[in-house]
Structure 1
């Protein structure tokens, strides 16, 4: 019997790459977005789901359960980008980012876990970010939202282990996607104290995304994880330097690491 996979945020970027790749690997895939467009050429079905709306989530999960009677794999991928100085970022935008990137996956889990628990079987992969391992300047809210999901996953993993439900994180680095198009950018205040550093950081971020690898790399890693009998907790996918930055944070003195980051961002 084919495994049934639910992937949030599958209309583009990493989510779509995962959905396409797992469809090729003979999984039955359901992707989601807030307002899916009919695309007859896709090898998977798109379902309407807003991770900020529990009723929308329950309706989507109910639809899949009615059709398939199970959800074997949940991949929490839906997320939003956000940049800006911590002081100048509107709290309404902070709340929106946390609502999508952190509370969103928790809402989806509340709808899906009862079905996995009933079958005493399931896999959950939360898509976080290498940025979630460190507080990056002018990306602090994004780092915090992804870091929170990393930590929450560790707790879920221990709590659900006896139910044969396995949790893992996959933290991508920079990949060539359209995330920048939907990212909230706090405006650069030309007369403010953060103008120079923030403008420089925005340029770096856009360059990293434009030069990023194919998101299929993330999809291939997830396919490997789903084959593992006892999957690990944390996986990183990205360039050597991006992954090595996490290692450096563990081994370098804190101020030395901070100095390295500041130099990288021209601060």
Structure 2
């Protein structure tokens, strides 16, 4: 059988690059996307296509190019995303809209582009990369949590709407992994004399410590391969440390105020 064709949005760095490199070594034909392909003239791990998930024409152009090269798309991994931190009150509206446009609208745009292709094939797998942060409202990360939580919920709807087309759709929620996500994250500035100044600064320090102490992103790639090789994928998957995955279980079983206190303690608030 010919090698399966995999498209990974946001594949030029971080978790996306790790997934693509791993799947390439496993014999898959991998294409990653990036908003600015000129920034990666020496990228050799797998092929890159230019795509901005916020732009419909850019998505359409990338799929046309991929179909000309390969004639099909077997697996889509919606990985492109951006981070954001800050007090909700002090986060600029344009930054909020940008994160939703990338983390939520973006995957939907790409799914709209690939569904007609996969429906014609009567086969396909879509893995939406969400986040363990999407299962809970985190202090000073509420916007990010909201984008990933929304993507998880809409995936549940998509699974039911596409069940008759031979297309499988699932989510994979990573916890903290050692990547360069912090470099591209939008930080609302810590404003002197702001009522949020001290607690927000403490939370930023805790976030950076969590990322620095995160797991190897190869774990995410290995879980992606496991999902690919699963005949009937579950609705949601999680990957990360035991405590991070267990935090989702705790939210289900603990009274909400007790769970809130645990989150506050973790953020040193």
Q: TM-score range by the shorter chain?
A: over 0.9
2:88 counterpart SS class = coil
Pick one of 157, 162, 165 that aligns with 1:163: 165
Matched with 1:175 is: 177
Matched with 1:34 is: 35
CA deviation after TM superposition for structure 1 residue 193, in Å: 0.8
Q: Which runs of 5+ in 1 are unaligned?
A: none
CA deviation after TM superposition for structure 1 residue 40, in Å: 5.4
Pick one of 190, 210, 213 that aligns with 1:211: 213
**In structure 2, C-alpha distance between the alignment counterparts of 1:78 and 1:140, rounded to whole Å:** 19
Does residue 234 of structure 2 align to residue 232 of structure 1? yes
Matched with 2:105 is: 103
Q: TM-score, normalised by structure 2?
A: 0.97
Matched with 2:92 is: 90
**In structure 2, C-alpha distance between the alignment counterparts of 1:167 and 1:111, rounded to whole Å:** 15
**In structure 2, C-alpha distance between the alignment counterparts of 1:204 and 1:190, rounded to whole Å:** 19
**In structure 1, C-alpha distance between the alignment counterparts of 2:256 and 2:214, rounded to whole Å:** 28
2:162 counterpart SS class = helix
**In structure 1, C-alpha distance between the alignment counterparts of 2:58 and 2:98, rounded to whole Å:** 17
CA deviation after TM superposition for structure 1 residue 262, in Å: 1.1
CA RMSD of aligned residues (A): 0.8
Q: TM-score, normalised by structure 1?
A: 0.98
CA offsets 1:226-259 (integer angstroms, 9 cap, x no match): 0001011111111111001000000000111111
**In structure 1, C-alpha distance between the alignment counterparts of 2:115 and 2:25, rounded to whole Å:** 26
2:69 counterpart SS class = helix
1:87 counterpart SS class = helix
CA deviation after TM superposition for structure 1 residue 215, in Å: 0.5
Within 5 Å, give how 1:1-267 maps onto structure 2.
Answer: 1-36=2-37, 37-39=40-42, 41-42=44-45, 44-267=46-269
